[in-house]
Amino acid sequence: MIGRYSRNYSSEKVQDSEDFAAKIKRVQSKKFALRSTSYTGKSLGCIPLHNAFRQQCINIIRSPHFETFVLVMITANCLALAVSDPTIPDNSGVNKHLSYAEYFFTTIFFLEMCIK
């Protein structure tokens, strides 16, 4: 009876390690796919690929934190647009803060465009 319910843990460990190795290979291939993105010889017609500033911009763009930050800013901008109410007078505190938020988001999205 006991033999019927016993498990072979050694074969499960081998299979788990094989699954883990397969996951590592998939992640590495995705990282390679991101790194293998080709860039043109010159950005804006004057900044070569080996320029330190351009390399720093490329490193920023490839960062997962950059994409998360941009998505958070897009969401926050959508929420600010949803809060705005044209029936409230322009000199109210809410509209003043929303106008500052518009300048902030415009600046963030402009910097994103420049970096990309």
What predicted TM-score, i.e. pTM, was given to this entire model? 0.59
CA distances from 39 to 25, 35, 36, 49, 73 (A): 25, 10, 9, 8, 26
- 66: three-class secondary structure by DSSP: helix
pLDDT < 50 regions, the chain? 14, 32-34, 36
Q: How far apart are CA 15 and CA 39, in angstroms?
A: 40
pLDDT of amino acid 18: 66
pLDDT of amino acid 111: 93
48: enclosing H helix or E strand: strand 47-48
pLDDT of amino acid 104: 95
Crossing angle of helices 52-62 and 64-83, in 10° steps, is 70
